[in-house]
Amino acid sequence: MNKENLTLVLTAVRDIIDRHGSQVPSTPTSSAHTYGITWECGSTSPVCTRIGDSAAFADPVPAVGTGSGSSPFDTLMPWAGMVRSTDVNAGEVVAIPKYWYRVAKDGNTLSIEIADGEKEGFSVSPDHMDRGDGKGERDVIYVGRYHCGETACKSVTGDLPKVKQTRAQFREAIHSLGDNVWQFDFATYWTIAMLYLVEFANWDTQSMIGAGCGDGKAAVASGYTDAMTYHTGTNLADRATYGNGVQYRWIEGLWDNVVDWVDGYYQNNLSASVIMNPAEFSDTTGGVYIGLVPGTQGWITDWTVPSANGYSWAMLPSRLDANEEAIVGTRDMSGFTSGGSVLNFGGVFDSPYPLCGLFCLHGVGRASGSFVSVGARLLVLP
Query: Could you give the 3-state DSSP secondary structure of residue 207?
Result: helix
Helices (H), 300-382: none
Rounded-to-integer distance, Cα 76 and Cα 71, Å: 10
| Strands of 333-336's sheet in order across | 316-321, 297-304, 333-336, 361-365, 342-345, 259-262, 374-375
Give just the sign of the alpha carbon dihedral 204, 210, 215, 219.
negative
Q: What is the pTM of this model?
A: 0.92
Burial class (CB in 10 A: 0-12, 13-18, 19+), 310: middle
Residue 261 near residue 184 (C-beta atoms within 8 A): yes
| β-strand partners of 104 | 111
With beta carbons less than 8 A apart as the criterion, state whether 165 and 153 touch: no
The pLDDT profile of the chain, 382 residues, written as one tens digit per residue, is 444 444 444 444 444 434 333 333 334 456 899 999 999 998 889 999 999 999 999 999 999 999 999 999 999 999 999 999 999 999 999 999 999 999 999 999 999 999 999 999 999 999 999 999 999 999 999 999 999 999 999 999 999 999 999 999 999 999 999 999 999 999 999 999 999 999 999 999 999 999 999 988 899 999 999 999 999 999 999 999 999 999 999 999 999 999 999 999 999 999 999 999 999 999 999 999 999 999 998 889 999 999 999 999 999 999 998 875 556 778 888 999 988 899 999 999 987 777 799 999 999 878 999 999 999 999 999 9
Which of 374, 381, 367 lies closest to 168, judged by CA?
A: 367
Q: Are 155 and 378 in contact (CB under 8 A)?
A: yes
Separation between Cα atoms, residue 262 and residue 184, nearest integer Å: 6
